[in-house]
Amino acid sequence: MIENEKQRTELSEFGEFGLIDHLTKNIKLKHKSSITGVGDDAAVIGPGDKQMLVTTDLLIEGIHFDMTYMPLKHLGYKAAVVNFSDIIAMNGLPTQMTIGISASNRYSVEALEEIYSGIYLACEKYNVDVVGGDTTSSVSNLFIAITVIGEIDKSEIVYRNTAKENDLICVSGDLGGAYMGLLLLEREKETYKADPNMQPELSGFDYILGRQLKPEARMDIINLLRDNKIAPSSMIDISDGLASEIKHICKNSNLGCSIYEDKIPINIVTVSMAEEFKIDPTIAALSGGEDYELLFTISQADYDKIKDLEEITIIGHMTNKASGENLISRSGTSIQLKAQGWDAMNKYV
């Protein structure tokens, strides 16, 4: 090796979040209207009381989706919804969208129309305007880049870094279903590759397949909290697994946490499929990802307001940083939480 030759560092050595931190560590905001940049679910832009939220996701064939089992219309719908979820995780309202698509000659105009039909369906449901975008050719595969703009009153923005010690940790819906849906689809894909005459065995698994192929953003939970006058002290959406997301809140808020295993909500179909794959359902919930539920903290003073609300479960509480980030098992043992979910540089790790 030549002495002055620069050493090559593989992307996988950093992982997704390490790479983001590395590439953005020297960014300095120059405009007063740039309230918050890299480091939360969406940027915050705007000089007045009404502020703008901006988020972008890039979906790449072979990394984020597999055309063997992903219907094009579902792909478009999901590409839109995962961005809406980032805006909602800031307590905001998604309002506009731009779409960027790069496709190889494997894809026809009709195929792209089907993707757009899914995007438009999502925009219709969530009342979002498509205001621009771009399309270009690709040497191989399909790339989709969605940018969503949202709005929120300055006083109502919820960040990741504002949790308080002793706050209750809450989650919407149930967890692990999307990952089990993915494993089911991958299994049936391998079966099909071995014998193209075989029919996939998907009957009875509509719930987990829907969680993977057609997720929803939880605007209903935001409205439910507002209706009950509950103000989250911090919030994030669960795209990379419960463990990864609570660790983000802990890191950004300079706190620790205790999550109780027996409180984590898991659907019975998810449990059944996990057992079939010989996977602990708790692992699926902690590390699976793509559930797009909301993970948030609230003051203990709001316990009576939230304890009986459907679709919301209290799963733990925030602690001081020295206590660490812990899962309290069903037997009462404290286990250090590890983020082992989705990593865009390595897929699932």
β partners of residue 56: 147
The DSSP-derived string for 210-230 is HHHHS----HHHHHHHHHTT-
Instruction: Give 96: exposed, middle or buried? Use CB within 10 Å, 0-12, 13-18, 19+.
Output: middle
Same domain? For 329 and 267 the reply is yes
Most confident segment among 44-48, 126-130, 134-138, 295-299: 295-299
CATH of residue 250:
3.90.650.10
Q: Alpha carbon of 83 to those of 142, 144, 230, 289: distances in Å?
A: 18, 12, 24, 15
The last residue of one of the domains, among 103, 134, 156, is 156
Three-class secondary structure of residue 335 per DSSP: strand
Q: Which two tokens stand for residue 107?
A: 């894809």
Q: What is the pLDDT of residues 120-170, one digit of tens each?
A: 999 999 999 988 888 888 898 999 999 999 989 989 999 999 999 999 999
Q: What is the pLDDT of residues 77-117, one digit of tens each?
A: 999 999 999 999 999 999 998 999 998 989 888 888 899 99
Question: Which residue would you say has higher pLDDT here, 46 or 161?
Answer: 161
Instruction: Evaluate whether residue 26 is within a structural domain.
Output: yes
What are the two backbone dihedrals, phi and then psi, of residue 278, each rounded to the nearest 5 degrees?
Answer: 60, 40
Q: What is the pLDDT of residues 142-156, one digit of tens each?
A: 999 999 999 899 899
Q: Alpha carbon of 203 to those of 73, 271, 291, 328, 338: distances in Å?
A: 21, 16, 21, 35, 34
- Look at residue 40 and tell me whether its pLDDT is greater than 90: no
Where in the sequence is the domain holding 315, given as residue range(s)?
168-348
Q: What is the pLDDT of residues 162-213, one digit of tens each?
A: 999 999 999 999 999 999 999 999 999 998 888 888 888 888 899 999 999 9
Same domain? For 302 and 223 the reply is yes
Rounded Cα–Cα distance for residues 334 and 337 (Å): 9
- Look at residue 7 and tell me whether its pLDDT is greater than 90: no
What are the two backbone dihedrals, phi and then psi, of residue 211, each rounded to the nearest 5 degrees?
Answer: -65, -35
Instruction: Evaluate whether residue 1 is within a structural domain.
Output: no
Q: Name which of 315, 334, 340, 155 is nearest 247 in CA terms.
A: 340
Same domain? For 211 and 294 the reply is yes
- Look at residue 274 and tell me whether its pLDDT is greater than 60: yes
pLDDT of residue 6: 63
Instruction: Evaluate whether residue 253 is within a structural domain.
Output: yes
Domain count, the chain: 2
